Structure 1
């Protein structure tokens, strides 16, 4: 597998755009740089485009000035990883540039992190200061919720590991993360606007805001369309976020708490089929783990919800954006 992904460092080129005129004379090493190797693999065309759009220039063509080894480590998502989010090299403009830049930096570390160090429970910092953790699930190794497909691709200025999902960290707590989506700081099209309005209406913002010693949660966050569909099912019309206020505040609070589990914040790689007990409402049922996602259903749902954007790391938990509102018995 290492040979298959040897040139896949293109992932790196994307993380920090490369200079097309780079030559290996920059280094005394016989190996090419991360960027130079990366550019030749079409399986990382989305990553290359992301680095260009993200405005990251030339960094991984050179030695790392911020580490004594002169090296970087990059966890590089391939094209299939971007496709999971509906993204490719042609439509990255749906994302805000600053968010995309920080997302790429989140995949990068100072120094050489070798595959032998990627053991269950290990934690590694990123270029934006947010740690990522290694999780062993059966014979597979994950960083957060992303499976590591290949390790130890050597370059003159570091190491690349290939992953199957784009990692996302907001840098904020759960409420701040939802607000960032709702105010178009992530996608240029606002998302989670109904959820943010519902949290404010139900007076739950304080409970989900990080503070010293605050618990970490797993949160299933319904999309705007999920709330609109709920309105239709209830015989109501939800066209704008404030329409959620047609429902009694206590009902909204119960429904929202049915989406929050105080279990320390779990990535998909740490979840298994079975039941979860939310802060309010009734037990949720997780389906089988399948290619990095699980569906989840409430007792009041006819069909389970699918994960739209899994494994979003917040400072006080993990958010999984889903396509249905999880209903308890009301």
Structure 2
């Protein structure tokens, strides 16, 4: 990981310090540091994060000492503008997210106390302000928190520490089925998504198998978007205009296709997946592409070489990890 010798971060932090105090004594150094929130305000690479913190109601919280920790500090994993852009979000499009989901997403990037780079390793986990653990992964000399690469570390603030990451982290706080339903019912995005997937799961009677229960396995699930199912209908010579249209297909076919998207491997983030063949519950191997820019492509045996791309990777649920993709993965039907 790179330390903050990167000139733009030093420059912007210095600007923030100068706006708060002109005192140059060493004894007052800690007081001169900007708050976590002010680091975002004064750095143009965090302008979307700043807007999200305001819209999500956490800007004031991160401007002050942490009342929930004896140190008074927070640790924040801060997504860059580019990280938000990967989800199609910027300062002007944050309204696509429900406020409650936005607030919870921001809190998922925050934890109590000071977690410095020196204490981060692959065998350590970190509990977020939501109470959900995030895990660290080491890959090819880089360190990831969940599926997000840590770009820079130990940006010191008056009320904690900031680490810079390249992807927004998402946790639903629910199991795989309830997460899909949340996306279907506009609890996440104001425009619902995964409506066809939820209908297909109900039609194929797989909701119970993909729901969390004590002792149940954890899965990696590739979840096709609504447009992916519409495209599938077109390819099959059918017209899908509403989720119920998926019932034009035989239930056995729908069940086989859905199981082709589920891997019983304890739930893997992109940082933990490698190129090659993986075996889904449906039986026919899927092929994962190279790990590139934090995502992997995936191809089903029946897709004639046409790959699916990850639209929203690394959604943490209570019983696995969901990667939203733009193509239905077909077995060898």
TM more than 0.5: yes
Tell me how far apart the structure 1 counterparts of residues 228 and 165 of structure 2 sit (CA, whole Å): 29
Contact 2:4 2:153 in 1 (8 A): yes
Contact 1:255 1:281 in 2 (8 A): no
Contact 1:8 1:38 in 2 (8 A): no
Structure 1, unaligned runs of 5 or more: 14-21
Tell me how far apart the structure 2 counterparts of residues 7 and 191 of structure 1 sit (CA, whole Å): 41
SS in 2 for 1:90: coil
Per the TM alignment, residue 23 of structure 1 is displaced from its structure 2 partner at its CA by 5.4
User: Paired residue for 1:76?
Assistant: 78
> Superposition RMSD on alpha carbons, in Å?
1.9
1:254 aligns with 2:256: yes
User: Paired residue for 1:29?
Assistant: 31
1:244 aligns with 2:246: yes
User: Paired residue for 1:216?
Assistant: 218
Tell me how far apart the structure 1 counterparts of residues 323 and 104 of structure 2 sit (CA, whole Å): 19
SS in 2 for 1:76: strand
User: Paired residue for 1:167?
Assistant: 169
Give the TM-score normalised by the residue count of structure 1: 0.93
SS in 1 for 2:31: coil
Per the TM alignment, residue 280 of structure 1 is displaced from its structure 2 partner at its CA by 1.1
- CA distance 1:28–1:266, change in 2 (3 Å): closer
Per the TM alignment, residue 53 of structure 1 is displaced from its structure 2 partner at its CA by 1.3
Matches within 5 A, 1:1-330: 1-4=3-6, 5-6=9-10, 29-302=31-304, 303-330=306-333
Structure 2, unaligned runs of 5 or more: none
Per the TM alignment, residue 208 of structure 1 is displaced from its structure 2 partner at its CA by 0.4
Contact 1:173 1:317 in 2 (8 A): yes
- CA distance 1:7–1:135, change in 2 (3 Å): farther
1:14-68 alpha-carbon deviations (Å, 9 max, x no partner): xxxxxxxx95799973422222233111111110111111122411111111001
Tell me how far apart the structure 1 counterparts of residues 39 and 292 of structure 2 sit (CA, whole Å): 32
Contact 1:76 1:162 in 2 (8 A): yes
Give the TM-score normalised by the residue count of structure 2: 0.92
